[in-house]
Amino acid sequence: MTDYKYDFVNVRVRDGIAWAALNRPEKRNAMSPALHYEMDDALARLEVDDAVKVVVVTGEGGNFSAGQDLKKFFRELERDPAERKKAAAAANRWRWERLYGYDKPTIAMVHGYCVGGAFMQLLACDFAIAAENATFSLSEVNWGILPGALVSKAVADTVLPRHALYYACLGEPFDGKEAARIGMVNYAVPPDKLEAATIELAEKLMKKSAAVLRATKQAIRHVRTMDVAQAYDYLAEKGKAIKVADKEDSYNTGMRQFLDEKSYKPTFEPFRLATVDQRSKPAAKK
């Protein structure tokens, strides 16, 4: 198994799920340049690790992340523009470019504080589950600054404009239940059920064809910025690409299991994976 050893990120891989946890618990996982470099490296490696099917982004010590470490990321780099630019590139890369286009499904598991800059990785992940008592806060207005990097854009794209304006302009905290109500996370659960709920979602995702799941999540993300004609063309080509890259031959496998074998109900469950070698076998008699 691949060895992941970092100072400010904890990575563990178990049963197909990689848990990538920010590890500065004494700072509520506020993000330093060193943490950004390590998380960027970890996610790049996890994306090509065959033992990993789903990646969960979370934090150690009871918190998701208190945002950027103002001292480490800003004040200490004020007179070092080269290092600040390098740190900003790593921060933006893993929190957005890398996660937003990730080949594997990603889940943000939020507990404790999720503040400011942490909204980037929260909203770049494909899915998010929060503890009901988690604390979300876009507090930048209280510091006299904007929700920077891509936070404002990500929030505005995720929730209704009234919600985005309210929480960005007032800087008031809200809990996991409210985050679910406004669409910031998929759902909220009691704190003691958070990890179990995350595992349950990950296990559901792992039952899908990896190629089709990857193409579907990419399609949903990209068509949002297309007009109708562009979306028609893009989705047609995306459908063709699946058939080239899909080792499970999902379309024909699913059709066979549904029409010939009558072995599953697509409305409620995925077809059985690893069945390509059975394509030449006759359908089972009913």
Over residues 159-173, the pLDDT tens digits come to 999 999 999 999 999
Q: Is there a contact between 63 and 9 (Cβ–Cβ < 8 Å)?
A: no
Which residue do the tokens 């910025």 mark? Answer: 225
Strand 174-175 to strand 135-137: parallel, antiparallel, or no bridges (unpaired)? Answer: antiparallel
Is residue 19 predicted with pLDDT exceeding 90? yes
- Residue-level pLDDT at 1: 59
Give the pLDDT of residue 273.
Answer: 76
Percent of the chain exceeding pLDDT 90 equals: 73
Q: 175-230: per-residue pLDDT in tens?
A: 999 999 999 999 999 999 999 999 999 999 999 999 999 999 999 999 999 999 99
* Rg, the chain, Cα only: 21
| Tens digits of residue pLDDT in 87-146 | 899 999 999 999 999 999 999 999 999 999 999 999 999 999 999 999 999 999 998 888
Residue 257 pLDDT class (50, 70, 90 cuts): confident
Calpha distance 61→27 (Å, rounded): 10
C-alpha pair distances (Å), 174 with each of 114, 115, 117, 119: 10, 11, 16, 13
Entry field: residues in the chain:
286
